[in-house]
Structure 1
Amino acid sequence: MSRKKMIFTGISIVLLVLFLVGYNYQKSDLKPIEITKITKQQGAETHPAPSSDGQFVAYNKVSLVNGNTDLYIQNVRSLQSPPQQITFDAHKEGFSAWSNSGKYLYFSRDNEEKNQCMIVKLDVASLQETEITHCEMGVSHLYLDISPDDKTLAYSHKAETDEEFGIYFLRLDQPNALPIRFSCHDNCHYRDRDMAFSPDRQTIAVSRRTNDYDENIFLVNLKNKESVQLTSGEEDILGFTWNRSGKKLIYATQKSDNRYSYILDLDTKEVKNLNIPNFNFPALAKKSNQLFYQVLSEKYHISHLPLDDGVANSPFPSIQSEFNHLNSDYSKLKNSIVYSSNESGYYELWSSDPNGENKKQLTNLKTVAQSPGWSHNGQKIAFLSVPEDSIFILDVKTHKITKLPSPFKNHYRPTWSYDDKAIISSIAETNISGLYQIDIASGNTKQLTFDKGRLGIMTSPKTLLYSIPGEGLWQKNIIDNTPSVNVIPASLFRTRYTWVYNNNGVYFKQKTKNVYQLNFYDLIDKRLTPLIRIPKHALKNTTALTLAENPKRLLFTSAGNPQGSIHMLRHPLL
């Protein structure tokens, strides 16, 4: 071997050895991922709030009996010890946040008996409660956070004069201080939802939703309110938290009910996947750097309630699998239902017989297709999809999909005019309220109601039946424009979407103290007939109702028993 070859071979060996040494050093220096299950009780344990030192974590526990929620605290250093229950009422406690001092826990509470929501300050040692301000009643996710100096409480709220929800600040160090809105107030075209103060107290991370399919995280300067968008293309943000250095943001997202976990480096803007399954609502213990998060499994399926048998004891599954199936609508002419399912990885439109047989995928949009509704002649299906909450129309025979030429961007669930030539929808835009009729061919619009009408169904060529959230069911003659008439009072009817018309009567969901009740209301005799009671957790809150025939059955979206637990994560990327 020549001298030159010997030198080349020697250098190659040295470089290879150095590479292997460096690789093994790097590999050994990379700490493994550690996941510890913190809570192990039956049911849904959600929304972790760790103390700053990481010794304790507060969380919500949902009762499977009545749907009420109480707060518990688990000692992380003594997992063999049972958790301590810290609220004992018949109300619903929401998200919580621990003061950095570790002395207080702040949380929201819905009191249905008083029809009010309050932000409560709890002394953790004595369990003494102090109500400090009002909040919006009936909000499923009322977010809150505490500034690093414990002087400011941030929470999501909508005052009577507000167009949209936003973030409010309340000074905790000033007695009798009033909440001040931090978010945009007028003509915003978005709503701020979740929030997290940065460790340096200079900025606040905020999630902003522009429509049902677009929510992203922004970084907002606390002094001048200038914002920078941090994420893009996300559908739902399921919580976020800062790491201890304030250089990274850990966040959870959801697309078509599939959960994802990420960490964002604010300096490099690099996003890395943490690859943690069922990752929801992360929360960091600010001093110990322990990351807590919620694991929650939610499954939805289509159930039916037989109506021909006289007495209905319980609903039965129609379409149930390891995937989610939502919001069916029945066509009498086709004897078929259309519904949304994430069986393909995305929420697409599917059809089947009312009993779930002969399933067929109708769309392949690889995005979100929701809230489908058959035309009266059974030839077309209207549904919501992106961009924004646009309305699309599927021709069942040709499979052609066209976008409704609507002048509006954001729509609520669509239904059909009596002659199938127009779509009826409420508009989800600022300063626009009521139901509109939108011509399919021209896009010309006619405002049908001038109230907060949400879902409208044509029961004849001139008669519109529609719901106003919390204010009952109403009827209007759209030809002569006479004033609307209340046909079911708000004391009985408060639902937005969970109702369907049939033969001078209405099937609808009624919320009672501990359960949902499905009823039939005869519009001629003004008589209410209860059909069945269903636990709150077993019925999706915004489900559509549809009535199938031969045999006669009421179809709706059911939810399985929610199973949730709190986990702790140690990850090298944190």
Structure 2
Amino acid sequence: MKDKNKLSFCLGSCRIDPSDNSISFQTQADETSQHEAAKVSLQPKFIEVLSYLALRHPNVVTRDELIEKVWEGNVYVGTKALTNAIWHLRQQLSPLEQDGGVIETVRKAGYRLLLPPVYDISDDTGIDKLQITEAKLQHTMRRLHFMVILMGAVIVTVGLLIGVHLYQDKQRMTETQMTVLTRDPGSERYPRLSHDRRWLVYGASRPGVTSSLYLKDFKREDIPARQLTPSTSAELRAVWSLDDTKLFFASRTQGTGECQITQLTLATNETLALAPCSTDMAAIDISADGQYLAYVSSLEAGKVGGIYRLSLVQPDAKAERLSCEVHCNYEDRDLAFSPDGRWLAIARRFSNISEDIFIRDLASASEKRLTHGLEDIRGLSWTPDSQSLVFATEDSGSRNGFTIDIATTHIQSLDVEGMSYPSSVSAEGELVYHQYRRQFQMAYFSLGESVSGSLFPLLYSSISHRNPDYSPEAKRIVFVSSETGYNEIWASDINGKKLEQHTHLKSRVAYPRWSPDGSKIAFIAPDDRNEGNRIFILDLANKNITALASSYHNHGRPSWNWQGTAVLASTSDGITEFYLDNSTPRVISPLTMAVGFAKSANEFVFSRYGVNGLWQIDLTQPEQVRELIPSKVFRAGNNWVLTANGVYFKSSNGNEQRLNFWEASNQQLTSLLRVPRSSLSGFGSMTYIQESNRLVMTLDGFPQRDIILLKHKLLK
């Protein structure tokens, strides 16, 4: 008998085929013919969840049962993955919503499929047998249900004596409620409620428009938000004074780029510059007694981002640095004072793919580490009792919210997909956050066409693919995909077909690069302690993965030398060469490198972190560095690729991005394509396929962020 979980079935006009993990919607063209839309491939786990819900229809399926059946009881992976699967299934099956919905969340129970599945007729015999078994199971369940009712009568009797306690438990188990507070086009983020919970301040930006702070009357939704800061400066994150009469924030002046921690008095609209800063996105918070501001900045030369504390009661006070001064193996990126004034919570980054939470005792300066091995922390906030933190993380492209008990370090998931920067947690279990939606895709642009083209997706999928690199020897594109729920290395042919997964690390891999002969792939992934990253080499001949010898805790994007015997990457000492034979690494230049390509055995072309222009270094005489493309022309950072004839790269100007070609022979610049700003990811990469005369790059739309009010049982 065929396993019913593997059978094709229909939900209304949607056909689900587990054999190739696809769904497709059917439309009626006329009375005699039926046309099926193009199939959409989903992750296998998504299809397994949907098939199991169909198998158990119309019963409610608990989360534990789904995790047991689909993820083999792996609670840590399954808890986040199930929430992600349900969200994606609802998105893909949204055309069926007009029929009354597809997947129902049953409070305190689990999920239920609302539409009856219709299985293929050819499998009727096997289905009938399975239905007999299911009928027996349902008979047993009815007997158990009767016993439960009998037990329930006893519980109700006892409950009459402890009704007050049951009422309190019911209050604590209030169903999760989400209310959208902003629906403006663009991006609203970093919300903070005033202490009296009357006013909401947040930062907002539109494509091509400077970001500003906005103030909204939380109790009057009919009144539009008021812009607080002018369009001549940029602001995003603010914090309230204890009496709610002032706001403190980082403000960056357009044109000069000067950044100042600023005080704004709301009644008079008067501003006062308090201290220098480095970015308008600086994390900022105020101490419980209102005497200090703390913010993240990187002011002094040679120092990474760190926490500065500024007195608000001492005239002309200078900010003092609380973070590591020199030889730091980490960077502080976010912070939050506890309501009781004892702790400062810190989000600390050890490498570009490793970040964790610490708390510092403000009296003794001693620290306690709460987490190990997070990828990217997106906001910190305390519960009113100062016993727990609420935080959001991004893991393999998926964001969610969590709570952590600072005494036990026990973490619980809020199961709120897309949560970012939670704040203003109340005793009633409410907070505000901004919901983040963004998906990376690989797209190609055909060169040399007689008719101007556009960007076309290379893979049609509901999951993220990014950072492509092409090997003319292997004739394959290697890239990072979250197909399995983790960022792993995959490869395809030049048309996005013949997909193959190359790593199964269940970790966070990034930035794969082919060796010159197409036999190996270099990439970075977390180290054993999840406090940094290492450069790994995947040998395709034997499938072995080895780590290159290194004493550094953080490595930038890897690039190969011309011979394929070493990998170059940026470290704390500059451009460093790591050898496949694991001999001692060599620092080539104190300059940093974002992306690099070997032009010949001795010539290496690279872009630099924080410095515009494209540069070339002689590896035999590394002190000889020249600017290949002027800084006023080249500001691509990561998005460029070197070819035999020149350089293709991305540029940004106002509300648009351009795809350009710099021809090496005559040093002429040609614009090839103009697209809206944020179409191409700033963290992506670009590669060239000579056989098809195409560029392949990471596509990214302008992120949609809306501010949400959340009420959750775990926050009480």
What's the TM-score, normalizing by structure 1? 0.91
Report the alpha carbon displacement of residue 481 of structure 1 after superposing the two structures with TM: 4.2
Which residue of 1 is the match for residue 561 of structure 2? 417
1:240-266 alpha-carbon deviations (Å, 9 max, x no partner): 111122222111122112222222233
Share of identical aligned residues, percent? Answer: 31
Is contact 2:204–2:214 with CA below 8 Å preserved after alignment? yes
Report the alpha carbon displacement of residue 306 of structure 1 after superposing the two structures with TM: 1.8
Q: Residues 482, 228 of structure 1: CA spacing in aligned structure 2 closer, same or farther, 3 A cutoff?
A: closer
2:697 paired residue among 549, 553, 556: 556
Secondary structure (helix, strand or coil) at the match of 1:239 reads: strand
* Distance in structure 2 (CA, Å) of the matches to 1:67 and 1:419: 46
Confirm whether residue 114 of structure 1 aligns to residue 256 of structure 2: yes
Which residue of 2 is the match for residue 272 of structure 1? 412
Report the alpha carbon displacement of residue 181 of structure 1 after superposing the two structures with TM: 0.7
Report the alpha carbon displacement of residue 353 of structure 1 after superposing the two structures with TM: 2.3
Is contact 2:381–2:423 with CA below 8 Å preserved after alignment? yes
1:97 paired residue among 239, 252, 256: 239
Confirm whether residue 35 of structure 1 aligns to residue 172 of structure 2: no
Which residue of 1 is the match for residue 104 of structure 2? none
Is contact 1:70–1:87 with CA below 8 Å preserved after alignment? yes
Is contact 2:569–2:593 with CA below 8 Å preserved after alignment? no
Equivalence map 1:109-508=2 (5 Å): 109-137=251-279, 141-284=281-424, 290-309=430-449, 312-387=452-527, 388-427=532-571, 429=572, 432-433=573-574, 435-469=575-609, 470-481=611-622, 483-508=624-649
Higher alpha-carbon deviation: 466-475 or 413-422: 466-475
Report the alpha carbon displacement of residue 15 of structure 1 after superposing the two structures with TM: 7.3
Higher alpha-carbon deviation: 125-134 or 293-302: 125-134
Q: Larger Rg: 1 or 2?
A: 2
Give the letter for the 1:294 counterpart.
Answer: H
Q: Residues 512, 262 of structure 1: CA spacing in aligned structure 2 closer, same or farther, 3 A cutoff?
A: same
* Distance in structure 1 (CA, Å) of the matches to 2:152 and 2:710: 40
Report the alpha carbon displacement of residue 448 of structure 1 after superposing the two structures with TM: 2.2
* Distance in structure 2 (CA, Å) of the matches to 1:445 and 1:270: 40
* Distance in structure 2 (CA, Å) of the matches to 1:461 and 1:162: 32
Report the alpha carbon displacement of residue 289 of structure 1 after superposing the two structures with TM: 6.5
1:237-294 alpha-carbon deviations (Å, 9 max, x no partner): 1111111222221111221122222222334443322222221111115688641111
Confirm whether residue 520 of structure 1 aligns to residue 661 of structure 2: yes
Q: Residues 150, 320 of structure 1: CA spacing in aligned structure 2 closer, same or farther, 3 A cutoff?
A: farther
Report the alpha carbon displacement of residue 76 of structure 1 after superposing the two structures with TM: 1.6
Give the letter for the 2:184 counterpart.
Answer: Q
Equivalence map 1:42-121=2 (5 Å): 42-64=185-207, 66=208, 68-121=210-263
* Distance in structure 2 (CA, Å) of the matches to 1:529 and 1:572: 57
Higher alpha-carbon deviation: 25-34 or 228-237: 25-34
Equivalence map 1:520-539=2 (5 Å): 520-539=661-680
* Distance in structure 1 (CA, Å) of the matches to 2:425 and 2:159: 37
1:477-524 alpha-carbon deviations (Å, 9 max, x no partner): 212445111111222223432221112411122232333332222233
Q: Residues 436, 355 of structure 1: CA spacing in aligned structure 2 closer, same or farther, 3 A cutoff?
A: same
* Distance in structure 1 (CA, Å) of the matches to 2:536 and 2:694: 28
Q: Residues 401, 318 of structure 1: CA spacing in aligned structure 2 closer, same or farther, 3 A cutoff?
A: same
Report the alpha carbon displacement of residue 457 of structure 1 after superposing the two structures with TM: 1.4
**Greater relative contact order (Cα < 8 A, sep 6+):** 1
* Distance in structure 2 (CA, Å) of the matches to 1:52 and 1:103: 10
Provide structure 2 residue ranges, at least 5 long, that are not aligned to the other structure.
Answer: 1-150
Report the alpha carbon displacement of residue 62 of structure 1 after superposing the two structures with TM: 2.0
Which residue of 2 is the match for residue 6 of structure 1? none
* Distance in structure 1 (CA, Å) of the matches to 2:153 and 2:600: 87
Is contact 1:54–1:285 with CA below 8 Å preserved after alignment? no
Provide structure 1 residue ranges, at least 5 long, that are not aligned to the other structure.
Answer: 1-11
Q: Residues 330, 79 of structure 1: CA spacing in aligned structure 2 closer, same or farther, 3 A cutoff?
A: same
Q: Residues 25, 285 of structure 1: CA spacing in aligned structure 2 closer, same or farther, 3 A cutoff?
A: closer
Higher alpha-carbon deviation: 198-207 or 472-481: 472-481
Q: Residues 399, 198 of structure 1: CA spacing in aligned structure 2 closer, same or farther, 3 A cutoff?
A: same
Give the letter for the 2:263 counterpart.
Answer: K
Secondary structure (helix, strand or coil) at the match of 2:326 reads: coil
Give the helix-richer structure, 1 or 2.
Answer: 2
Secondary structure (helix, strand or coil) at the match of 1:573 reads: helix
Q: Residues 455, 464 of structure 1: CA spacing in aligned structure 2 closer, same or farther, 3 A cutoff?
A: same
Q: Residues 265, 338 of structure 1: CA spacing in aligned structure 2 closer, same or farther, 3 A cutoff?
A: same
1:39-80 alpha-carbon deviations (Å, 9 max, x no partner): 12223221111111111111122203x153222222221223
Report the alpha carbon displacement of residue 342 of structure 1 after superposing the two structures with TM: 0.7
Give the letter for the 1:559 counterpart.
Answer: D
* Distance in structure 1 (CA, Å) of the matches to 2:664 and 2:690: 21
* Distance in structure 1 (CA, Å) of the matches to 2:398 and 2:319: 36
Give the letter for the 1:508 counterpart.
Answer: F
* Distance in structure 2 (CA, Å) of the matches to 1:214 and 1:159: 23
* Distance in structure 2 (CA, Å) of the matches to 1:122 and 1:205: 25
What's the TM-score, normalizing by structure 2? 0.73
